[in-house]
Amino acid sequence: MHAILFPPVLLKPCLVRPPLWGAEYCYFHTHSILGIKTYIDPDTYEDPSLAVHEFAKEIDPSRIRIERVIGAGEFGEVCSGRLKTPGKRDIPVAIKTLKGGYVDRQRKDFLREASIMGQFDHPNIIRLEGVVTKSRPVMIVVEYMENGSLDSFLRKHDGHFTVIQLVGMLRGIASGMKYLSDMGYVHRDLAARNILVNSNLMCKVSDFGLSRVLEDDPEAAYTTSGGKIPIRWTAPEAIAYRKFSSASDAWSYGIVMWEVMSYGERPYWEMSNQDVILSIEEGYRLPAPMGCPAALHQLMLHCWQKERNHRPKFTDIVSFLDKLIRNPSSLHTVVEDVLVMPDSPGEVPEYPLFVSVIDWLDSIKMGQYKNNFMAAGFTTLDVVSRMSIE
Ligand code: ADE
């Protein structure tokens, strides 16, 4: 007889970390560690306007043709248009403008994003074309992304993509995040709303600028300690004591995975921020979206480990997703028991998913048997799920 003691957890990802020297790129740059270019915080410049000119090209405004307004940012309108370069074809661009009447501080905050973006060069990071600072309006010019932000794009095309296409998008985001973490840059606001999508379905990480980004994000709420944080996307240690790191970005990446696989559903639905924090603390995690391959939900659960050092590194995530793409049959096992979250906040869901055998034993008050389970080789939940009575 084969007794299933736990909802089967299949295809537990085996994430291996390549050696540090296995980085995909290597720059010769004055700000580098072990030959890998590192990010410089523009605030370390006494005069931040020097930073922007170190990292961004000044564009003559006669090269820019503004066509239409496509959105509103904290500092002014966002427009689409074209950028002319002598001897080259015009390229489509997005133009962020700083509206008139700003104070020095606002100009500095606005250009901070360009100083950060200008340090990056990666296909999955939004590319800075340059800035206009010597005439008015002050502008930031970036590559144009035809499909806009990922959350609204997915909501508009609910159910339209193959799993491989969705995993391809996630692979791109993970690759951009690996680049940022290798550069020593912590994003702090990784969410589908801050990813842009181009006409080839390529996803690029955008919205840089740390504190400013959070001021601008309508999802960011004030915590009791006074920080402004997008609670549902943020790792517990970053909410509790502002411990932001690439490991807290990995937690947010797991939430982005969930947003993508659910076509832009709101994480934790309409639960209040406080209930989200309490549920996470109690060990609950988001269930697999409908039709989500088990391997992807397992990866999400890895990203949501309480202990931040147990979360996968972005390099692990990229190689794991690459393996899934190379072996599409690994995506055929779908999490069938779609878990229903409580209707009213505070109610306990029936089948919480745990990420470790120890969490699970503790939850059923069998924590005293931890050592027996480990000694008998039942070290992972997938092994436990295959336990038989004999
Ligand atoms: N909205 C904000 N930035 C954008 C971009 N780069 N392309 C298209 N829409 C945008």
Task: Dump pLDDT digits (tens) for 32-43.
Answer: 666 778 999 999
Using alpha carbons only, what angle is made at residue 201 by residues 56 and 204, rounded to the nearest 5 degrees?
30
Position 121 pLDDT exceeds 70: yes
Residue nearest to atom 4 of ligand 1 (CA): 94
Are 132 and 251 contained in the same domain?
A: no
What per-residue confidence (pLDDT) applies to 22? 32
Q: Is the pLDDT of residue 249 over 50?
A: yes
180 and 98 share a domain?
Answer: no
Confidence at 3, pLDDT banded by 50, 70, 90: very low
pLDDT tens, residue by residue, 283-292:
999 999 999 9
Task: Please state the rounded mean pLDDT for residues 221-237.
Answer: 88
pLDDT band at 345 (very low <50, low <70, confident <90, very high): very low
pLDDT for residue 352 is more than 70: no
Partners of 37 in the β-ladder? 32
Domain edge (last residue) among 110, 143, 176: 143
Residue 75 near residue 64, CB atoms below 8 Å: no
Residue 379 in any domain: the answer is no
Please state, rounded to an integer, the average pLDDT across all residues of the chain: 85
Whether 80 and 96 share a structural domain: yes
Among 79, 120, 203, 206, say which to mutate for ligand 1: greatest number of ligand atoms within 8 Å of CB: 206
- The predicted pLDDT at position 217 comes to 84
- Rounded to whole angstroms, the Cα distance separating 227 from 233 reads 14
What is the CA(123)–ligand 1 centre distance, in A? 15
pLDDT exceeds cutoff 90 at 127: yes
Q: Has residue 157 been placed in a domain?
A: yes
Structure tokens at 183: 């550069």
For residue 29, being part of any structural domain is answered with: no
pLDDT above 70 covers a percentage of the chain that reads 82
Last residue of a domain, one of 143, 176, 194: 143
Distance of CA 96 from the midpoint of ligand 1 (Å): 9
DSSP line for 65-113: EEEEEEEE-SSSEEEEEEE--TTS--EEEEEEE--SS--HHHHHHHHHH
143 Cα nearest atom in ligand 1: 6
pLDDT value, residue 33: 64
386 pLDDT band (50/70/90 cuts)?
A: low
Cis amide prior to 18 (ω within 30 degrees) = no
Nearest to 315 by CA among 190, 187, 180, 174: 174
310 shares a domain with 291 = yes
- Ligand 1 contacts CB of residue 142 (under 6 A): yes
Q: What pLDDT is stored for residue 356 in this prediction?
A: 62
Based on the fold, state whether residues 252 and 160 are members of the same structural domain: yes
Residue 228 pLDDT grade (very low, low, confident, very high; cuts 50, 70, 90): confident
C-alpha span between 371 and 252 (Å, rounded): 32
Structure-model confidence comparison of residues 25 and 329, the more confident one: 329
Do 121 and 197 share a domain, yes or no? no
Q: What is the domain-level CATH number for residue 164?
A: 1.10.510.10
Are 255 and 335 contained in the same domain?
Answer: yes
Ligand 1 mean position, distance from CA 313 (Å): 28
Residue 2 lies in a domain: no
With a 6 Å cutoff on the Cβ, whether 71 touches ligand 1 is yes
Report how far ligand 1's centroid is from the alpha carbon of 115 (Å).
18
Q: What is the pLDDT of residue 4?
A: 30
pLDDT band at 227 (very low <50, low <70, confident <90, very high): confident
Does ligand 1 lie within 6 Å of residue 202's CB atom? Answer: no
Q: For residue 348, what are the contacts with CB-CB under 8 A and spacing of at least 6?
A: 342
Confidence of residue 353 (pLDDT cuts 50, 70, 90): very low
Q: Any catalytic annotation for residue 60?
A: no
* Tokens standing for residue 111: 């250009």
* Ligand 1 binding pocket includes 94 (Cβ within 6 Å): yes
Ligand 1 site-directed mutation target among 66, 67, 78, most atoms within 8 Å of CB: 78
Q: DSSP H helical segments within 124-233, as ranges?
A: 150-156, 163-182, 211-216
Range of the domain at 116: 43-143
Residue nearest to atom 8 of ligand 1 (CA): 145
- 123 and 259 part of one domain: no
Split into its structural domains, the chain has a count of 2
Q: Which two tokens stand for residue 55?
A: 């990292």
- The strand ranges marked E within the chain are 32-33, 36-37, 64-72, 77-83, 91-97, 128-132, 139-143, 195-197, 203-205, 221-222, 228-229
CA 331 – CA 109 distance, rounded (Å): 43
Whether residue 126 is found in the same domain as residue 220: no
- Catalytic residue, from 151, 189, 207, 316: name it: 189
Q: Is residue 37 one of the residues assigned to a domain?
A: no
Q: How far is CA 124 from its chain centroid?
A: 12
For ligand 1, say whether the CB of 186 is within 6 Å of any of its atoms: no
Residue nearest to atom 3 of ligand 1 (CA): 94
Q: Say whether both 138 and 235 belong to one domain.
A: no
Taking a C-beta distance cutoff of 8 angstroms, is the pair 258, 232 a contact?
A: no
Helix-then-strand count for the chain, H and E: 13, 11
Say if ligand 1 is within 6 A of residue 78 CB.
yes
| 96 labelled ligand-binding | yes
Query: Which atom of ligand 1 lies at the shortest distance from residue 73's CA?
Result: 2
Q: How far apart are CA 348 and CA 346, in angstroms?
A: 6
Let me know whether 117 and 162 are in one domain: no
Residues 127 and 267 placed together within one structural domain of the fold: no
Sequence-ordered list of residues with C-beta below 8 angstroms from that of 246, at least 6 positions apart, any chain: 177, 180, 181, 186, 313, 314
Q: Is the residue at 166 inside a domain?
A: yes
| Cβ(70) – ligand 1 distance below 6 Å | yes
Closest CA to 56 of 114, 143, 142: 114
What pTM, to 2 d.p., does this model score?
Answer: 0.80
58, part of any domain: yes
Q: Is 371 inside any structural domain?
A: no
Provide the CATH number for the domain around residue 71.
3.30.200.20
